[in-house]
């Protein structure tokens, strides 16, 4: 049974709970409306409910209708269309598997967590978590690649004499092959139990995981940062946010290797037809991923009708 409960469930199904501006604002953010504007619109929706004597408790369907009317007046038809897509997500009886890849330092965990929060996907995991778990079971002698960071796994692979190769890229590929065994098992468990899941990580390599799973809506994308200075700045921000637990100097020293891995991932994405989303600003990146999810949900519903 699908345990996903998107934030658009603003009232209980029997209409016993009152309207919440905070939850409505969260729902509107799921359509790409910026937070402060979403709260303003939530207040306008509340006003419409009061005028209709529906300020204490309303059904979810009625609430969507009122919200759509307010959005049409103040934001336009595109916002209404996105809201209806979000409503379709609530009605969808299939789990969502969201796969977000990207090189180190491109903001994958931040974007994945925010998208999952807005869409009501309660389970988020990273490929690094899978790698860390595998390290507890497989010794460095048995599976050396998983005992290194993704960008410095070169020592785990043997390069034959005279062979021209990028050690960092070869190490990353070897590590990815191993980690994806665990990632596939995590996805299989989610599908077996019918819950939605977001997986983020550098090992979500375009073309290395299935683009579709029976009985699920699968959305895959990749985050990238084209400008090298901007990419470096992300490590400064991450260092400050983690109170030094993820020291920037380690990553800045490895930036050339990280950038080469990103170039490889972008090339793979282009060949596999996986969308690449620029993440120089968090809000547009989050909205870009949300729009991909909502569009895929709409396609799944259209297919179900035919």
For residue 220, give the 3-state DSSP assignment: strand
Given phi > 0 = left and psi -120 to 50 = alpha, else beta, which region is 142? Answer: alpha
- Could you tell me if 70 and 48 are in contact, meaning their C-beta atoms sit under 8 angstroms apart? yes
User: Beta-carbon neighbour count of residue 46 at 10 Å?
Assistant: 18
CB hemisphere CA count around 234 (13 angstroms):
23
Query: In 3D, which of 130, 129, 125, 296 has the Cα closest to residue 198?
Result: 125
- Could you tell me if 108 and 229 are in contact, meaning their C-beta atoms sit under 8 angstroms apart? no
Residue owning tokens 């603003």: 10
Residue owning tokens 């190490």: 171
pLDDT at 24: 87
Q: What is the DSSP letter of 219?
A: E
Cβ density class 248-280: b for 16+ within 10 Å, e for less: beebeebbebbbbbbebbbebbeeeebebbebb
pLDDT at 303: 77
Who contacts 282 (Cβ-Cβ below 8 Å, separation ≥6)?
Answer: 107, 110, 111, 114
pLDDT at 239: 64
Query: In 3D, which of 206, 253, 209 has the Cα closest to residue 105?
Result: 253
Query: What are the sequence ranges of the domains in the chain?
Result: 21-91, 96-305
Spatial distance between the Cα atoms of 113 and 81, rounded to a whole number of angstroms: 24
Q: How far is CA 74 from CA 37, 53, 69, 80, 88, in A?
A: 11, 22, 9, 10, 22
pLDDT tens, position by position, 224-248: 999 999 999 988 877 665 555 567 8
Per-residue pLDDT of the chain (306 residues; tens, 9 = 90+): 444 444 443 444 444 456 778 888 888 888 888 889 999 999 999 888 888 766 556 677 888 899 999 999 999 998 998 888 888 887 778 899 999 999 999 999 999 999 998 888 889 999 999 999 999 998 888 899 999 999 988 888 876 655 557 889 999 999 999 999 999 999 999 999 999 999 999 999 999 999 889 889 999 999 999 999 999 998 887 766 555 556 788 899 999 999 999 999 999 999 999 999 999 999 999 999 999 999 898 888 777 776
Q: Dig out the tokens for 231 from the structure.
A: 């990419």
Query: In 3D, which of 159, 133, 158 has the Cα closest to residue 146?
Result: 133
Q: Phi and psi for 244 in degrees, rounded to 5?
A: 85, 0
What CATH code is assigned to 96-305?
A: 3.40.50.300
CA 87 to chain CA centroid, nearest Å: 19
pLDDT tens, position by position, 244-295: 556 788 899 999 999 999 999 999 999 999 999 999 999 999 999 999 999 8
Alpha helices of 208-247 — where are they, by DSSP H? 228-241
pLDDT at 5: 43
pLDDT at 4: 45
For residue 240, give the 3-state DSSP assignment: helix
């Amino acid at each position: 049974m699908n345990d996903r409960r998107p934030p658009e469930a603003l009232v209980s199904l029997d209409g016993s709970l009152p309207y919440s501006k905070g939850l409505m604002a969260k729902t509107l953010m799921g359509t790409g409306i910026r937070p402060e504007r979403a709260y303003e619109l939530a207040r306008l929706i509340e006003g419409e409910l009061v005028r209709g004597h529906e300020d204490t408790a309303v059904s979810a369907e009625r609430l969507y209708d009122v919200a759509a009317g307010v959005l049409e007046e103040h934001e336009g038809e595109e916002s209404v269309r996105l809201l209806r897509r979000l409503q379709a997500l609530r009605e969808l009886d299939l789990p969502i598997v969201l796969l977000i890849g990207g090189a180190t330092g491109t903001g994958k965990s931040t974007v994945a967590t925010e998208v999952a929060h807005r869409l009501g996907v309660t389970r988020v995991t990273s490929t690094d978590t899978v790698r860390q778990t595998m390290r507890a079971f497989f010794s460095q002698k048995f599976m050396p690649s998983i005992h290194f960071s993704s960008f410095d796994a070169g020592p785990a692979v043997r390069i034959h004499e005279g062979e021209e190769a990028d050690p960092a890229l070869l190490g990353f590929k070897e590590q990815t092959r191993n980690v994806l065994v665990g990632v596939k098992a995590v996805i299989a468990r989610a599908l077996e139990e019918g819950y939605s899941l977001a997986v983020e990580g550098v090992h979500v390599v375009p073309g290395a995981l299935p683009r579709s799973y029976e009985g699920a809506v699968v959305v895959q994308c990749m985050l990238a940062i084209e400008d090298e200075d901007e990419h470096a700045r992300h490590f400064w921000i991450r260092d400050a946010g983690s109170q030094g637990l993820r020291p920037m100097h380690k990553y800045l020293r490895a930036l050339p290797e990280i950038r080469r891995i990103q170039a490889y991932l972008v090339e793979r994405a282009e060949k596999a037809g996986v969308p690449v989303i620029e993440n120089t600003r968090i809000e547009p990146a989050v909205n870009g991923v949300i729009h991909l999810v909502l569009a895929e949900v709409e396609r799944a519903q259209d297919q179900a009708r035919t």
